[in-house]
Structure 1
């Protein structure tokens, strides 16, 4: 049986999702923040013959995250996704999304490593020339002055508003280093935080300040703060060089994450 869930299903849904809590960071966070009645979000579950959940599908606006511990019959999930005329993205565990992709015309794909940090055993104390500070709304313009310098990023006004909403809703935080002139040199952020974990995003240093270890310093502070709260940290990476940096901090690969888009969309459009 496959159906849309309500708050009455919450305990069972969470029990299922928490078995792979890192991989379900986005679904857990959206349930915590928006529940089951928001008009822009739906939670569906697929039940086996004994009434146990074997798969969950999140719709957040026109993006979807399917989840199952292993590949299951995805027919009903595919029906829901295919019925959306404004479908923007399907993302999730590689094996699940790749199975869906065989039956839905999702022609653009971004595949990344998914890594998690659970403890601080590999994190070392560092001596700083400049203190690491926590960003507030007062730093938004200076943050984007830095991020506009990063050619790998494709920031827009929508990205800026998303960053502001994250700070306002306390579903993420940022730590940065600035110089004496007040220019932000390096920053690392989280988004989609829930009571168990947070997703690391937007790690960067000014092009003229790279190879100085600044990104590692702000990442170290970010990791220490979340770990002290009992949260793990997760991140995507597809750059082997970045992967080495994260692994020195103790991140471990836990799977592959696939983002698939209709032909008219691309990762830079979302």
Structure 2
């Protein structure tokens, strides 16, 4: 049986999600930060008929859907819910779960990335975090300077207004943080987190100005982020599809734990 979830379902939902907190960091973060009663967010759960246990969940966050299950689940039922939504743009999640849902959808494009987490700080993280460069934590007043850098990064190309609104909202709501290195009044390296929860956070928007690459600046910022998060008891996670980036992250101590698949409708 699939039904919509509400506040009364928080305990069984978190119990299910805590089986795999890294994979579920987006759902956990959204529930902790926004609860259940939001117009931009909905949650459905599948309950087993024999014992009523919650065994699968589907999140809608604006036009993005994210399914999770800890075993066999009603993939066709979840796909039907997505197709009924006028806001359906994409579905993402662990490769195995998304693949099951994809059999019931018409997919335009697909992207797969490696999913990694940092379980233990390495000596490389400590060395990089102790950089001579001053690493600052961003406030809302730094949004323009940071986005002026990310505007120059090809893989981050998007609507400039949207990127600024998104970063500003993240900083204002405390659902993420951004650190950066500045030189002569210009941001030359940055890294952010998103979907921060009590357990984990996703590292995103890692960037270095083209004129300052090869100096390990982005690694230093990521190392500082990781050190601070681990001190707070949180597990840093990230996606990557660039083998060179993978080598850098592995050097910092990240370990691959699976694949994350994104399907665009």
Report if TM-score (shorter chain) is over 0.5.
Answer: yes
- Check conservation: 2:76, 2:104, Cα contact below 8 A: no
Q: Structure 1, residues 31-56: CA drift from partner, whole Å, max 9, x if none?
A: 11111121221111111121111110
What is the rounded CA distance, in whole Å, between the counterparts of 2:63 and 2:179 in structure 1? Answer: 31
Question: What is the aligned partner in structure 2 of residue 268 from structure 1?
Answer: none
- Aligned ranges 1:32-111 → 2 under 5 Å: 32-48=32-48, 49-111=50-112
Question: What is the aligned partner in structure 1 of residue 18 from structure 2?
Answer: 18
What is the rounded CA distance, in whole Å, between the counterparts of 1:240 and 1:71 in structure 2? Answer: 32
Q: Structure 1, residues 76-112: CA drift from partner, whole Å, max 9, x if none?
A: 2111111113311111111111221121112211110
Question: What is the aligned partner in structure 2 of residue 254 from structure 1?
Answer: 257
Deviates more, 1:150-159 or 1:245-254: 150-159
Q: Secondary structure at the match of 1:212?
A: coil
Question: Structure 1: which 5+ residue stretches go unaligned?
Answer: 263-270
Question: What is the aligned partner in structure 1 of residue 126 from structure 2?
Answer: 124
Question: What is the aligned partner in structure 1 of residue 171 from structure 2?
Answer: 167
- Check conservation: 1:47, 1:53, Cα contact below 8 A: yes
Answer yes or no: is 1:150 the counterpart of 2:116: no
Question: What is the aligned partner in structure 2 of residue 192 from structure 1?
Answer: 195
Q: Secondary structure at the match of 1:19?
A: coil
Q: Secondary structure at the match of 2:116?
A: strand
Stretches (4+) displaced over 3 A: 126-129
TM-score (norm 2): 0.95
Residues 20, 171 of structure 1: CA spacing in aligned structure 2 closer, same or farther, 3 A cutoff? same
Question: What is the aligned partner in structure 2 of residue 221 from structure 1?
Answer: 224
Root-mean-square deviation (Å): 1.2
TM-score (norm 1): 0.93
- Check conservation: 1:71, 1:96, Cα contact below 8 A: no
What is the rounded CA distance, in whole Å, between the counterparts of 2:158 and 2:140 in structure 1? Answer: 17
Deviates more, 1:227-236 or 1:91-100: 91-100
Per the TM alignment, residue 200 of structure 1 is displaced from its structure 2 partner at its CA by 0.3
What is the rounded CA distance, in whole Å, between the counterparts of 2:201 and 2:84 in structure 1? Answer: 31
What is the rounded CA distance, in whole Å, between the counterparts of 2:181 and 2:122 in structure 1? Answer: 24
- Check conservation: 1:118, 1:231, Cα contact below 8 A: no
User: Number of residues paired by the alignment?
Assistant: 261
Q: Secondary structure at the match of 1:124?
A: helix
Q: Secondary structure at the match of 1:70?
A: coil
Per the TM alignment, residue 202 of structure 1 is displaced from its structure 2 partner at its CA by 0.5
- Check conservation: 2:62, 2:87, Cα contact below 8 A: no
Per the TM alignment, residue 71 of structure 1 is displaced from its structure 2 partner at its CA by 4.2
Q: Secondary structure at the match of 2:19?
A: helix
What is the rounded CA distance, in whole Å, between the counterparts of 2:13 and 2:87 in structure 1? Answer: 27
